[in-house]
């Protein structure tokens, strides 16, 4: 829908599984000393020389997590890597390797997989991670993608969800709600396209939020920024499912409560105007729309001067005792409990 499909179609059968893997992965080079052995053997070998290894996996299923009618495969490859790297950065670690496993129907042409791997390669380059393995198989029910990301950190650098304490400040990077609204725009254009395939959508006014949906970034830069500012968060989580559910995870793991201030939630102007257009409440979108891949973390109050005024970081609230619960303080100064309405793949 968004771009011309590659007219060339080479069937996968002609290549065979090993030929296919070789073809798709031949241009990936290993850049990290910790990548001792990569693709081509029974398993990869990594050596972190005494540092801690951080590992995370995510699975993406066609029709549940992505829709190929408006998700170009190159973007899908990129985003699939990003969502995993985001989890590594959320531990305050550095991502170093990934493995990529895919299941696709035989009807998929080689060119489609090449496009997907172009996106994977772009993410590997951008975030300096090595592709060290994966698995390739066929599927009769759509495309499946499973990526594992591996990272490294000194033991004392790791930031789990469980470390926040009362009076810590609650901080978020970037702005929220864009990815969800970008999805709404794409869904709307898909419906228009179904009725009139000649209608080329004008997505220009929505470019920021559509990009947030189709080509998100992981906040490696925030991890570096915090290091530079000499701030170690007390707890951290990435925002994949929506601010409210992530706040609740963080509070639950830390055995704390929190006060979150509605008027502090960072919003891009496009998010505000588009939510009006869709007649949706912008706070609900920021709280419940997922896939922003920003970092949510808590810091000790004494670190506030170090982050104050930084355009990438916004203090949105503070941590309280567990007994006080988790609350949103609205613009009208009413206090309402934060409820988890994060995106849930079992109840979409
Ligand atoms: P095995 O039979 O031991 O599972 P494979 O033939 O599946 O081996 O894989 C051979 C090599 O190619 C391994 O190093 C594996 O990690 C890598 N590999 C397989 N599929 C992919 C893929 N989709 N992307 C990247 N590497 C892959
Ligand atoms: Mg295999």
Torsion from C-alpha of 285, 288, 294, 299, nearest 10 degrees: 110
Q: How many whole angstroms from 21 Cα to the centroid of ligand 1?
A: 7
What pLDDT does residue 38 have? Answer: 97
What is the residue with the minimal CA distance to atom 3 of ligand 1? 42
Cross-strand bridge partners of residue 95:
151
Q: How many whole angstroms from 25 Cα to the centroid of ligand 1?
A: 10
Q: Which residues line ligand 1 (CB under 6 A)?
A: 21, 25, 39-42, 100-102, 131, 133-136
Q: Per residue of the chain (348 residues), what is the pLDDT tens digit?
A: 444 455 678 888 888 888 999 999 999 999 999 999 999 999 999 999 999 999 999 999 999 999 999 899 999 999 999 999 999 999 999 999 999 999 999 889 999 999 999 999 999 999 999 999 999 999 998 999 999 999 999 999 999 999 999 999 999 999 999 999 999 999 999 888 888 888 777 889 999 999 999 999 999 999 999 999 999 999 999 999 999 999 999 999 999 999 999 999 999 999 999 999 999 999 999 999 999 999 999 999 999 999 999 999 999 999 999 999 999 999 999 999 998 765 555 544
Instruction: Note the ligand closest to the C-alpha atom of 120.
Output: 1
Structural domains of the chain, with CATH: 12-157 (3.30.1330.10), 161-337 (3.90.650.10)
Instruction: Note the ligand closest to the C-alpha atom of 101.
Output: 1
What is the residue with the minimal CA distance to atom 8 of ligand 1? 42
Q: How many whole angstroms from 311 Cα to the centroid of ligand 2?
A: 45
Pairing assessment for the beta strands 256-261 and 326-329 based on DSSP bridges: parallel
- Please answer whether residues 236 and 159 qualify as being in contact, where contact means their C-beta atoms are separated by less than 8 angstroms: yes
Per DSSP, the residues of 36-55 read: EE-BTBSS-EE--TTSEEEE
Lookup: tokens for 166:
């009362």
Which mutation among 15, 21, 27 tests ligand 1's pocket best, with the greatest number of atoms within 8 A of CB?
21
Q: How many whole angstroms from 150 Cα to the centroid of ligand 2?
A: 19
């Amino acid at each position: 829908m968004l771009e011309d499909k590659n007219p060339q179609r080479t069937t996968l059968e002609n290549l065979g599984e090993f030929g296919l893997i070789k073809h798709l992965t031949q241009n990936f080079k290993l850049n990290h000393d910790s990548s001792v052995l990569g693709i081509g053997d029974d398993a990869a070998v990594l050596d972190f020389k005494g540092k801690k290894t951080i590992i995370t996996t995510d699975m993406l299923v066609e029709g549940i997590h992505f829709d190929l009618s408006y998700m170009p495969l190159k973007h899908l490859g990129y985003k699939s890597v990003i969502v995993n790297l985001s989890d590594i950065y959320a531990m305050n670690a550095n991502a170093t390797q990934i493995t990529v496993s895919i299941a696709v129907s035989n009807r998929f042409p080689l060119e489609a997989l090449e496009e997907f791997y172009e996106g994977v390669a772009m993410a590997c380059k951008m975030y300096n991670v090595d592709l060290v393995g994966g698995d390739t198989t066929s599927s009769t029910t759509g495309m499946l993608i499973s990526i594992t990301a591996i990272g490294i950190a000194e033991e004392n650098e790791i930031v789990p969800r469980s470390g926040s304490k009362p009076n810590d400040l609650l901080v978020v990077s970037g702005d929220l709600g864009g990815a969800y609204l970008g999805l709404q725009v794409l869904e709307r254009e898909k419906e228009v396209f179904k009725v009139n395939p000649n209608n080329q959508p004008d997505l220009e006014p929505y470019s920021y939020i559509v990009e947030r949906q189709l080509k998100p970034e992981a906040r490696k830069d925030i991890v570096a920024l915090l290091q530079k500012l000499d701030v170690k968060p007390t707890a951290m989580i990435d925002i994949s499912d929506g601010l409210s559910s992530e706040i609740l995870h963080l509070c639950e793991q830390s055995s704390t409560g929190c006060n979150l201030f509605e008027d502090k939630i960072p919003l891009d102007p496009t998010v505000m105007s588009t939510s009006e257009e869709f007649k949706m409440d912008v706070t609900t979108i920021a709280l419940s729309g997922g896939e922003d891949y920003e970092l949510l973390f808590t810091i000790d109050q004494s670190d506030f001067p170090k982050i104050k005024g930084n355009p990438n970081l916004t203090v949105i609230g503070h941590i309280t005792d567990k007994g006080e619960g988790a609350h949103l303080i609205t613009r009208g100064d009413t206090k309402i409990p934060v409820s988890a309405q994060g995106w849930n793949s079992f109840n979409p």
